[in-house]
Chain A
């Protein structure tokens, strides 16, 4: 009697949990992910619109012809921190650690994959290029600035479209600008992920 009552209780609990799971895993997840994505993308889109002075050429998200010529890319035989081989939690935490403890990473070769974005400082006219990664729940993003090669390439004609998945390999460097300390990857190679 006790056994049958236990079986009934367990069956009822399992059925209830199943109903809750099925009912809860439909639209909410898909609705929440885009809104989280949209929040971050909106912010970056605002920066992009404030920095752009002319329209983009390609509209299909693919790199323009002439991008990533292999013979013009810096190459690194040894990578000290290869974030492309890490899980998303570690990538996010490592990039955060680079911001918090930059001196521990100075001079190290870093490789990371993420979404490419451009931004322009209207005050100085300087262009900045970023590779952005998100945490496991996609609600928070970290970005790392990079300088492609020797920095001589022209934006927008030489650079990919914003939102393109790229892999960047470069040397971590701390630099000063307007009395503020920044970090970036210098002498970087840029390749499509």
Chain B
């Protein structure tokens, strides 16, 4: 069977189609929000919040909750609100706050799973959540529906408040002086980031999630100069790398998350080269 015929066969499986749809939506949401986060110097928040989500997953696993997203989503949203809502007025600024919350949640999560865990293969569960090997291919119908709804909410929300996000991203002080409710928009951004983190863990796992957020925006910034252009190009890069990465991993039998992140890194290198050549011409 040729590679093309094999791919067509794979696409006949419902769980593959679900994975592609959810993966594309997750990549789209991540890259849209990534532009804002990178510009607000909060690139590492994806990593921090994903570690918090891991900690919440550990609690859900120990408690025995079937639909762990019911615990992971609220906890991650709360952490995002604490980290992002205060903006520039926080006592502990972005990177330090993220680092504190990140390592604490990761350590507590792993400790809980080892001490109170009831599942036989703790290492396997941890590995799957951290690296998302084939998680995207094993989504339950509830997971698919929840991911799709959350992704649509994020994309729609971003589109609706795009201009305010732009203002809050570039100059929070000016936006506040101009009468924008900056705190409220920081809260909305925080909630959207948290939702993206929760659904993104299924695609690339907790440890690699920041790549989905950071790489598309950074790649676009190599060649684009306006916020809108960076946002659009970042979305295109994120979606393309996720789609190609998922198909490549399915065909080659490689871990899905790692394959997508490697493609994101290659895309970044390519756009660096393009940007370099563009400046030289």
A residues lining the B interface (CB < 8 Å):
6, 35-36, 39-40, 43, 85-90, 92-94, 96-97, 100, 135-137, 139-141
Do the beta carbons of A88 and B140 come within 8 Å of each other? no
Chain A's closest residue to B1 (CB) is A85
Q: Give the total number of A-B pairs whose CB atoms are below 8 A apart.
A: 86
Q: Which residue of B lies closest to A104 (CB)?
A: B14
> Which residues of B99-137 are within 8 A (CB) of A?
120-121, 123-125, 127-128, 131, 133-134, 137
**Nearest Cβ on chain A to B158's Cβ, whole angstroms:** 31
Residue B255, interface by CB 8 Å:
yes
Task: Name B137's contact: one of A43, A85, A92, A139 (CB within 8 Å).
Answer: A92
Residues of A within 8 Å of B124, CB to CB, are 36, 39-40, 139-141
Residue among A88, A100, A136, A141 with max Cβ neighbours from chain B (10 Å): A136
- Provided the pairs A36-B127, A135-B133, A137-B131 are in contact, do residues A89 and B254 lie with their beta carbons within 8 angstroms? yes
Q: Interface on B for A, CB 8 Å cutoff?
A: 1, 6, 10, 13-16, 19, 120-121, 123-125, 127-128, 131, 133-134, 137-138, 140, 249-256, 276
A89–B1 touching, CB < 8 Å: no
Contacts of A137 in B (CB 8 A): 127, 131, 133, 255
Q: Which residues of B contact A35 (CB under 8 A)?
A: 123
Contacts of B13 in A (CB 8 A): 90, 93-94, 97
Instruction: Give the docked Cα–Cα distance between A39 and B119 (Å).
Output: 12
Does B134 lie within 8 Å of A136, measured CB to CB?
A: yes
CA distance A141 to B117 in the complex (A): 18
Complex CA gap A37/B46 in Å reads: 30
Tell me the nearest residue of chain A to B280, going by C-beta.
A3
